[in-house]
Amino acid sequence: MRLSRLIARSLAFHWRTGPAVAFGVAAATAAIAGSLLVGSSVKASVRTQLLARLGAVDHALPAPWFFREGLGGEVASCPGVRRVDAVLLARGAVRNAASGGTVPDTGIVGVDAGLWGFFPGSPAESLEGRTAAVSKALARDLGVAEGDAILVNVPRKGSAPLSTIFARRERAEFLGSMRLRVGRTLDGGAGSFALGGGGREPRNVFVAREWLAREIRAEGRANALLVESDGSPGTGAALQAALRAACVPADFGLTVSVSRKQHCVVLRSERLLLGQGQLAAARQAAADVGADAAVESVYLANSIERIGGGSIAYAIVAAGEAPLPLTAREGTAQPGDGEIVLNDWAAADLGARVGERLRITFYVPSREATDQTATEEFSLAGIVSTDSPGVDPDVVPEFEGMTETERISDWKPPFPVDLKRVTQRDEDYWTQHKAAPKAFVPVAVMTSIWASGQPAAPDWATAVRVVPRAGEDTEAVKARFEAALAARLDPAAEGMTFRPVRERAMAASEGTQDFGMLYASMSAFIVLAAMGLTAMMARLAAERRAAEAGVMLACGFSGRSVAAAIMGELGVLVAAGAAGGLPAGWLYARAMLAWLAGGWPGAEAQPLRVHADALRLAAGAAAGAACGMISVWWGARALGRQRVLDLLAGWRALGAVAARPGGRFEKLLAIVLLAAALALVGLGVAGAVPATAAFFGSGAILLVPGFIASRLALGRVLASRGGRLGLAVLSLRSAAANRGRSLLTIWLFAWASFIIIAAAANHRDYSAASLGRDSGAGGFALRATSSVPVPFDFGTPGGRAKLGFAKEDEAAFEGVRVVSMPMTGGDDISCASLSKPAAPRVLGVPEAMIERGGFDVDSPVRGGNAWALLDGGGPDEVPAFGDADSVRWALHSGLGGTIEVPRDGAPAARLRIAGLLRRSIFAGELLISEANFRRLFPREAQPRCFLIETPPGAEESTAFLLRNLGDMGLEVASTRELLDAVAGVQNLYISTFVALGGLGVLLGTFGLVAVLLRSAFERRSEFALMLAVGLGRGWIARLLVLEHAGLLAAGLACGTTAALLAVAPQIVSASTRVDWPLLAGLLASVLVVGVIASAAAAWAAARGNLIAALREE
């Protein structure tokens, strides 16, 4: 015979104990392995989702401007590249033409047949004309089917920045509105196409690229390249190098032309203004071809007025860094400080003479649409010939609605013009000289004119004049300059960078947090309860084997051998339980994912599926087995402490040893902790310590004296002598005789009820909360975001008028205040996003908002306006605020931490967390000052996020009106909803925790039931004796019920009392909603199950022939 045979025999003989031990281990394994599977499944689901959105695309170039559609073909020969396709990407709003239902933030994708190649299984046919393919999610949102009509609003390709007066900003001009027919709905695959970001399933409309390009006035252009490569390393760098080699000035929106009048080459931008990088490249390129570069700028003056009489309307004013090629007729040709020079045509019109004072008036850009003007006064320093080379219409960029017209009377500029002021002489000038400047001012004046009305100094140069050396052919120089400029322009610096979108998706799928560990921690109760169950059953098993162990020791087995035999037997049960727990773990993961997916905030369920991960399952099984072994060791360790003779006396002798009644230290500790808890409550009430922390701390502390008291009480019961023996005393004695088991029961249920109540009390609900200035809403009732910049401020009557609001709506906007903020297109950092943010979204907080303050900010500032911390910052690092939970859980940082925000073509911006907003509406982004924003993210400086303060009760009417801007991509949400959405994730976790905790407690209860049944049967001889001495079966049943229900009740009472103290501040808070009936029901059900189980055990134990049991003794 071998030890293994002994183990096998014991297993077979004690088969009743085995399943219970194995069940406990299986439950622990299921909870651990299931939790780990949740983690890997969330990751895998997010990865699957993100990769599905990319199809075979692994690199993408989303450009800030429109480049030649042929650019894709020119980089396609790059090594490692399999496929390149140029597309048009835009954000817009889509409306159901029949119902009017609108989806504001939709991807409008101009494609040719090439796109479908990235998505195997997608229909390969091309789209034509007004036929569109829409994603299934969008079709569902809009309620459209194939054949239905939809209206798509998408921003047109404008020729000037929205921050200037020259941009078309009125709704009808700014947006291209198209009526399309749904030709096809795309389910998954290409339908969910998106280059980045997690969150809800993308809503897309696919139209023929050529057709879309025509509609948005971007013929022959694209603004994104999609690449499929063979995955070889270095493809991104190779693509970028190929892009740099292939790009020509046109790909950056630059035009190079020849000025006939000046015999020079002129560089201008389709986007009106030349950026600093472009100017630098142009200067270098000019030097490369041996030419001189001169930077110039023009602006439109509404009028040039001679002070004292006479004015001319609508004249171009110019300035140059270098002296302009002007021929003086009178006075000087180059204006000095405070001086202006006119051409002789303008001077004649004004009747002006050198030395006279002139005033120019010009429009200042304004989001309020107030048609604000400004003036500058000059002294006329000279009059130059209109035939001068510098009076050149070719250096004037395209002013949309003006420069392309034959006559001034045909002008349709984006700002108001009074054509009645235009004279025939003005028309004659236009006919002969087009937009050639009439006046010249110093360059400093011109830069200040462009900067008027802007929060930060913008670009101002409108042209670079490249002057060839004498005798050189201008056309030849143009060609050489173009080539040199192309070589000098860095696409990356211009925001054209190939992004490794697949790699980023893989990184994003790592998630904001380790759901495996999150769920493992939330499942801790189940694991603990299962371990408790296992330990209890192991203890019973060990006790059962006490005499066996005694015999073995007496036969010469060493203690280690005896332990090995018992642990070997229990180990087999543990292994069986761990193995059996794996399928249960899979089911557990499935249930958790279904709960997570179904309860996730927002209407859309997250597509989460269980992904079997052998490593995690093995880890779960190992952890479950480890928990099981710890439990059985804990349960069986009592044997090791016993003497051989005690063991031989049998298991009943174990435990029935009078325990020490309780040391002074324990009593002293209990008193000190009780005093500490009371002191902490006092400090909380006095405000010296945050009330939430004070009360929670005192509640948690209170548990320990509770435990000590129960331990001392049980010890005292067993140590006490005398007293009237009755049912209560006997039940107490029984509980005390098994003090370890009894205390474990009390502690388990006390902790469980404490944690469950404490967690449930943090369930947040803002529906009835007061959202004042110091709340997470900052006193704002609404928050709106737009997928495209809103060109006017809808917080002003002028802006609203330009945006199409009726005059009669104005009354509804009385008292409404809007704070507009620029916002990057980065990733949502809130806990509601399952994917890891690669580039956190950033908001620019305007100065007015900084001065206003508000919100609940945790910062080093005490007593002042914490928002002032956002001012300042250097080139290396800028101060930022972030939502406390998002910074902690999604960015894994904290106060003082630094977050890097990647930027295209520039080093990552470093944001230092200077303040944390508690439970705020800014859960999805980081906040920096607008000044820093414009410096760090100049291409995204237009406001896209709006905080709206309304008079009390006007929230809904304001939101209703603002939803009219839905076709401009504006989404309006109440801050209450936003806070609820943010709290929704937390609430989901809390409800999961409470549910799992409840499950754990129930498991613990069932464990107790198992122990109870077992011990009831073990005590049959005791009961028989009771019967023999005349006590009835009912008495025995009452004894058991009283003993076990008492332990349960003691545990629940201890935990509940401590928890109620711990969460007192939350209970009285208006933003907390505790589901008391559910909680009370949960705890009551535990008690009821315990009582019923006790009764059942008592019934089972007391029935049958107990006298026979007595005889067996």
Partner 1 sequence: MTGQARKLILADVTKCYDAAGAAVRRVLDGVSLAVEPGETLAIVGPSGSGKSTLLNIIGSLDRPTSGSVRLGEVDVAALEGAALAYFRAREVGFVFQDHHLLPQLTALENVLLPSLALGGGQAAVGAAVGLLERVGLGGQAASFPSRMSGGERQRVAVARALVNGPNLLLCDEPTGNLDREAGEAVVSLFVELAAERGVAAIMVTHNLGLAARFSRCMELRGGRLAVFDARRGESA
Contact residues: partner 1, CB under 8 A: 1-3, 5-6, 9-10, 12-14, 547-548, 550-559, 561, 643-645, 648
Q: How far is the CB of 662 from partner 1 (least distance, A)?
A: 16
Residue 642 Cα distances to 3, 740, 742, 884, 932, angstroms: 22, 15, 20, 54, 73
Nearer to partner 1, 12 or 172 (CB): 12
Burial string for 543-555 (b: 16+ CB within 10 Å, else e) reads: bbbbbbbbebbee
Pick 13 or 960: Cβ nearer partner 1: 13
**Sequence-separated (6 or more) residues with CB below 8 Å from residue 54:** 118, 193, 194, 195, 501, 502, 505
CB nearer to partner 1: pick between 241 and 648: 648
Residue 697, classed as helix, strand or coil, is helix
Minimum gap (Å) between residue 14 Cβ and partner 1: 7
Nearer to partner 1, 533 or 546 (CB): 546
Q: How remote is the C-alpha of 920 from its chain's centroid?
A: 13
938: DSSP letter: G
Buried/exposed 96-132: b ≥16 CB within 10 Å, e otherwise: bbeeeebbbbbbbbbbbebbbbbbeebeeeebeebbb
Q: Are 39 and 516 in contact (CB under 8 A)?
A: yes
Minimum CB separation of residue 11 from partner 1 in Å reads: 8
Task: Tell me how far, at minimum, the Cβ of 640 lies from partner 1, in Å.
Answer: 13
Q: Beta 782-786 vs 970-974: how paired, if at all?
A: antiparallel
Instruction: List, in order, residues 6 or more apart from 10 with CB less than 8 Å away.
Output: 545, 548, 565, 569
Nearer to partner 1, 5 or 664 (CB): 5
- Residue 780, phi-psi category: left (phi > 0), alpha (psi -120 to 50), beta (remainder): beta
d(CA 477, CA 479) in angstroms, rounded, equals 5
Cα dihedral: 803, 809, 814, 817 (round 10): -30
Task: In angstroms, give the least distance from the CB of 562 to partner 1.
Answer: 9
Smaller CB separation from partner 1, 2 or 641: 2
Q: How far is the CB of 23 from partner 1 (least distance, A)?
A: 21
Closest distance of CB 554 from partner 1, Å:
5
Name the residue nearer to partner 1 (CB basis): 7 or 891: 7
Minimum CB distance to partner 1 smaller for 641 or for 862: 641
Other beta carbons less than 10 A from residue 697's beta carbon: 20
Residue 812 has, within 13 A of its CA and on its CB side, a CA count of: 16
By residue count, the chain amounts to 1113
Question: For residues 503 and 646, which CB has a smaller minimum distance to partner 1 in the complex?
Answer: 646
Q: Which is nearer to partner 1, 2 or 862 (CB)?
A: 2
Radius of gyration over every alpha carbon of the chain, rounded to an integer in angstroms = 39
339 or 548: CB nearest partner 1: 548
Main-chain dihedrals φ then ψ at residue 602, nearest 5 degrees: 100, 160
Nearer to partner 1, 579 or 649 (CB): 649
Minimum distance, C-beta of residue 611 to partner 1, in the bound complex (Å): 44
Q: What is the closest distance, in whole angstroms, from the C-beta atom of residue 645 to partner 1 in the complex? A: 6
Minimum Å distance from CB 559 to partner 1? 8
Of 12 and 768, the one with the shorter C-beta distance to partner 1 is 12
Extract the tokens encoding 1091: 């009582």
CA distance 301 to 417: 11
| Least gap, CB of 551 to partner 1 (angstroms) | 4
Question: Is the Cβ of residue 254 or residue 565 nearer to partner 1 in the bound state?
Answer: 565
| Calpha distance 272→101 (Å, rounded) | 37
Least separation, in Å, of the C-beta of 625 and partner 1?
A: 24
CB of 720 to partner 1, least distance (A): 14
Give the whole-angstrom CA distance, residue 113 versus residue 124.
6
Dihedral of CA atoms 745, 748, 751, 752 in degrees, nearest 10, equals -110
How far, in Å, are 321, 640, 865, 989 from residue 383 at the CA level? Answer: 19, 112, 55, 77
Closer of 58 and 543 to partner 1 (Cβ): 543
**Nearest residue (CB) to partner 1, 551 versus 1096:** 551
- Least separation in angstroms between CB 22 and partner 1: 18
For residue 1100, what are its two tokens?
């089972």
Helix (H) or strand (E) holding 1057: helix 1033-1062
Question: Can you read off the two tokens belonging to residue 125?
Answer: 């046919």
> Which of helix, strand or coil describes residue 917?
strand
Q: Give the span between the Cα atoms of 321 and 338, in whole angstroms.
A: 16
Are 439 and 380 a contacting pair, CB within 8 Å?
no
| Residue ranges of E strands in 385-523 | 439-440, 463-467
CB nearer to partner 1: pick between 553 and 1054: 553
Q: Are 1084 and 1077 in contact (CB under 8 A)?
A: no
Phi, psi of 74 (to 5 degrees): -80, -20
To the nearest whole angstrom, how small is the minimum distance from the Cβ of residue 650 to partner 1?
Answer: 8
Which 3 state secondary structure label does DSSP give 295? strand
End-to-end CA distance of the chain: 30
Minimum CB distance to partner 1, residue 12 (Å):
7
d(CA 408, CA 432): 12
CB of residue 556 to partner 1, shortest distance in Å: 2
Nearest Cα to 692, choosing from 1065, 136, 267, 1052? 1065
Instruction: Report the residue number, 14 or 733, with the smaller CB distance to partner 1.
Output: 14
Return d(Cα 530, Cα 536) in angstroms, integer. 10
